[in-house]
Amino acid sequence: MPRLRRAYANPFFGEKPENAAWRDTAMLLVLSLATGSLLSAQMSKPARTRNPHGPLATPCENCHTTMSWTPLRQTLEFDHNRETKYPLRGLHQNVACRSCHVRNVFTNVGKQCADCHYSDYAIGDYMTEAILPTILHQDPRYFRRPTGSVWARLGYAAGQIFWTHSDSGCRQFNFSEIGGNSTAVAISMAYYRENRDVMDGVPKLGSQLGVDMASNILKQFWPDLERKCSRKHNFLKL
């Protein structure tokens, strides 16, 4: 019998077998209680809310009230010109936030004109230089005026936005330019949800006509500028 007790006794503590069994049971009970407490604390911990606007440092209460997410506060404690690297100037001051920040995500927004307006000008070019000229039999190309004063040629370049030639050579009102850009603005209202009335469409139409007018002026005077620059370059070589 003493040999059996020594065989089952704990060699480190010199405990009897019945005492070792109680000790093991107590340790298991303590581990079970500790594990249960940790799981309960983890499950009762409130889930972290993901910011739908992206990783912003601006506190929520600067725009939202403590009662509800919507409506927003009447006076927002946020200065776009001071707190971002893209100050709002000109027509950008009246543009709705969702026009640039799709799905209210305020981070990783492009800062180049083409990032927001590429589709507008692409649709406008397609309508003014392909679709409507084919339907109306008008020539969308720009032909330079080779002679005349600077102001006369400048007026000619700007006027080609409103006047063009038909396929037969007759001078006509430029329905392709005006109608094509108007159609492009109307199409753009499908994806600019906050700008779907006439007052929002007029500045867009003016912007697209202005870009096309600037393009005509550049086409008119670019050969002259290039010729003058090349003469100056040759003179410096001499």
Three-class secondary structure of residue 172 per DSSP: strand
Three-class secondary structure of residue 163 per DSSP: strand
Three-class secondary structure of residue 237 per DSSP: helix
pLDDT at res. 12: 47
Residue corresponding to tokens 């400048």: 154
Please name which of 177, 173, 164, 226 lies closest in space to residue 205, comparing C-alpha atoms: 177
> Averaged over 63-80, what is the pLDDT?
75
Scanning 45-164, the segments in alpha helix (DSSP H) are 80-83, 97-100, 113-126, 132-136, 150-159
The residue with greater pLDDT, 224 or 55, is: 224
Q: Write out pLDDT tens, residues 198-225.
A: 777 788 888 889 989 999 999 999 988 8
4, pLDDT greater than 50: no
Rounded CA-CA distance 205/187 in Å is 12
Rounded CA-CA distance 181/212 in Å is 10
Whether cis (ω within 30° of 0) applies to the bond prior to 11 is no
Which residues is 172 bridged to in the sheet?
Answer: 164
The answer to whether residues 145 and 224 touch, using CB atoms and an 8 Å cutoff, is no
Kindly report the pTM of this predicted structure: 0.54
Scanning 45-107, the segments in alpha helix (DSSP H) are 80-83, 97-100
160 burial (CB, 10 Å; 0-12 / 13-18 / 19+) is: buried
CA within 13 Å, CB half, 202: 3
146, pLDDT greater than 80: yes
The answer to whether residues 139 and 133 touch, using CB atoms and an 8 Å cutoff, is yes
Rounded CA-CA distance 173/160 in Å is 9
